[in-house]
Structure 1
Amino acid sequence: MPIAIPTLREGDISLRPVRIRDAKLLEQELMENRGWLRKWEATSPYAPMSFDTRASIRGLLSHARSGNGLPFIIESDGELAGQLNVSSITWGSLSSATIGYWVSERFAGRGITPTVVALATDYCFFQLGLHRMEICIRPENAPSLRVVEKLGFRYEGLRRRYIHINGEWRDHFCFALVVEEVQSGVLARWHDGTVPPNAAMITPADLAASAHPLPVTKK
């Protein structure tokens, strides 16, 4: 079923639906932040990276129409600051989704990312009726690891060579929440200072393992 993409706000930070007419501005933002974003960008092992931003937006909107995604633009005080996508939405007995995002370098460190992740998670839990939200993060991505720590996403484990990023299959740490854990809401729990202090703590064994990527066996 199609999903209506809402506009969600907290102060001067907002999530709004991505639009085809955002293509030019998004492409400019992505190009200006290549050095900042490249090492975290999802890539394809089967095709070169495409910068057809208009086609990318069309694909995201198609996922929303099929009920599988929610593509957002992140804005700070009305200025485009990045993107957040709720993807892999699964209904029925699983009722789960995954969150991915990027924020331009000049907006980093302002609390924008945890705010929009909390807004999107609360919407998926309390408006869409999803049960579980997941975020997977590369071990080297310290800013994103701080986001899940702030919001109390619970650490679930190391996924080896999980997502193709910047031209290679990369390990990821997996974090998740289920709605029963945050009945007051993710944003409210963060603002109230009641986030469990060690929920996102990565086990020493996984930290050690992540320092040694799996060797690739050549055929």
Structure 2
Amino acid sequence: MFALPDLVEAAVRADHPDRAAGPFARSSAWADASGQPWAAAVAARCRALLHPAEEHYRDALRLHERGGRPFERARTELLYGEWLRRERRRTDAREPLRSALVRFEHLGAAPWADRARAELRATGEGAAPAAALGLTDRLTPQELQIVRLAAAGVSNRDIAAQLFLSHRTVEYHLYKAYPKLGVSSRAELARLGLGD
């Protein structure tokens, strides 16, 4: 069920909207049955893809305001901004694109943030690169906790013991965090001053 909106978007982007009808109908039925506002918002987004009209995008965003699934909201904002730009409403497109970019960056969804940033540039606005984010904003809460301990000089085994994790899990989180911080070693990590 969670893949149905992706199938709708893929069919529309591949210029085969006829192939989106089935997944759209199933997704809409599931959204109605679930009673979840985020599911109804995603169904409205799919409707906007199939029948491009501003009211469908606005309906989706209104439903997203009821809460849940920030990633799905960012996707809706991105698609709405893209549609506005294609409609030659570049100034109007900037607000949903900016919002999508902020959400994607906060969630660590780099490819999606890159797409939103490219769309913003296409509207004539320069979007700040991800480097403009604070260092700690790039990390998951678990990564941040581990990185702070590692920067303070705590060994992987001791970090694992403190956080009730395996040392391999600690190594994995450090492996994921280093590129986000632009470092490649503990020594460089210590120089960032995150262990304070």
**Higher Rg:** 2
More strand, by proportion: 1
> Under a length normalisation based on structure 2, what TM-score does the superposition of the two structures give?
0.31
More helix, by proportion: 2
- Looking at both structures, which has the greater relative contact order when contacts are Cα pairs under 8 Å and sequence separation is at least 6? 1
